[in-house]
Amino acid sequence: MRLGITIHLTDWSIDVRDLAVAVEERGFHSLYVPEHTHIPVERSTPPPTGADALGEDYARSPDPWVSLAAAAAVTDRIALGSGVALVAQHHPISLAKVVASVDALSTGRVVLGVGFGWNREEMAHHGVRYATRRERVAEHVAAMRALWVDDEAEFHGDFVDFGPSWSWPVPVRPGGPPVLVGGGAGPRLFAHIAAWADGWMPIGGSGLAGGMAGLRQACEERGRDPGEVAVVPIGTLPDEGKLEHYASLGVAETVLRVPSAGRDEVLAVLDDHARYLG
């Protein structure tokens, strides 16, 4: 089972270039970073962590694609992923260009992790209705794929509408980078993954076995081979038993968490995680 690394980058944490080099040097497979465009000061949405207050790192998140481009410039091998990108909050024409550009610069190493989002106020500032966010994400991904596949792409949907257009560069892999959907297990999430995604990114990995059974059922109901849908737990705090359990379930990659902290603290945790590399 491959092991990757994720960090909630901030303007105070380790430089992403230093981290990317360290991740590659130690033999990890990937580096993932999350996204928040901003955090509204007036907010009623509770933190997703269950804590009383939202951590300061959420408001200090750099742009994930600028960060991944910087990481691409100093590495040659590791996969570079968004964990997760809030695609509903971006116009798909613009986001398709950014993702394709980073993928081309990194010679095809991008993985597009996407999320439906939890912060109602953040979405509202972008003009996104919380109730329709799932459908908007699905449509934005479909529109981006059209721009990546068709020389003269057009798309006509409920949220996105554009006529025949040219847009280069395109991603290195035909059809674009793999798209993984982040979120907790449930029938609505699995229906989306089975319909249009390449995999599932469960946060932390709690309840993974039951979730994989639900995902398998959703794929079979849609006539899709469950074996072609990847499962990539992200934000996991490792131990031998947990990783052995994930591997026994057929998980091909697990993404381990390092703290949102300075260089010395992050590299010490990274070195500890490296003992789990086979």
- Domain 2-276 CATH superfamily: Luciferase-like domain (3.20.20.30)
Confidence of residue 51 (pLDDT cuts 50, 70, 90): confident
Confidence of residue 207 (pLDDT cuts 50, 70, 90): confident
Does position 278 have pLDDT exceeding 90, yes or no? no
Confidence of residue 76 (pLDDT cuts 50, 70, 90): very high
- In 132-149, which positions are buried (b, 16+ CB within 10 angstroms) versus exposed (e)? ebbbbbbbbbebbbbbbe
List the domain boundaries for the chain: 2-276
CA distances (Å), origin 134, targets 81, 193, 205, 212: 20, 11, 22, 20
Q: How confident is the model over 21-50, as pLDDT tens digits?
A: 999 999 999 999 999 999 999 999 999 888
